[in-house]
């Protein structure tokens, strides 16, 4: 994995925690409304795994996920990229929303990189 500064590590972890919070809130609201929650649950699981993967890589600790879990997580992140990047392009330079999206994109890229690196070991 690329050499990542402590600032980027912290921002990436915070971004993934924020994403988890948003997904948990969405899941709660959708459950109350009786809406289909399959996609939100899948994304929430992937973000949890992604967060743990980054923490494990940076702390050099083992993980307990199967290759199937990692492949699914990678696929979920790759599927989310286009929509996040589309929103990013529409935001104003220097805006808080753009900064948040930049951090989210970087965190997502690092998760995919961490999974790819593990797959080649």
pLDDT in tens, 49-66: 999 999 999 998 888 899
How is the chain split among helix, strand and coil, in percent rounded to 5? 80, 0, 20
The upper half-sphere exposure of residue 34, i.e. CA atoms within 13 Å in the direction of its Cβ, equals: 0
pLDDT in tens, 14-61: 999 999 999 999 999 999 999 999 999 999 999 999 999 999 999 988
Domains in the chain: ranges and CATH: 6-119 (1.20.120)
Point out the least confidently predicted range of 62-66, 69-73, 88-92, 95-99: 62-66
Give exposure, 45-79, as e/b (b: 16+ Cβ within 10 Å): ebbebbbbbbbbbbeeeeeebeeebbebbbebbee
């Amino acid at each position: 994995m690329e050499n990542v500064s402590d600032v980027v590590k912290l921002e990436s972890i915070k971004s993934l925690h924020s994403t988890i919070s948003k997904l948990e809130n969405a899941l709660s609201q959708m459950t109350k409304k009786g809406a289909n929650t399959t996609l939100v649950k899948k994304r929430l699981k992937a973000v949890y795994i992604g967060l743990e993967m980054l923490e494990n890589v940076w702390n050099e600790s083992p993980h307990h996920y199967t290759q199937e879990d990692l492949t699914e997580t990678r696929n979920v992140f790759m599927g989310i990229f286009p929509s996040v990047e589309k929103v990013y392009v529409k935001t104003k330079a220097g805006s808080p929303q753009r900064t948040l999206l930049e951090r989210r994109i970087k965190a997502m890229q690092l998760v995919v990189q961490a999974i790819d690196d593990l797959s080649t070991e």
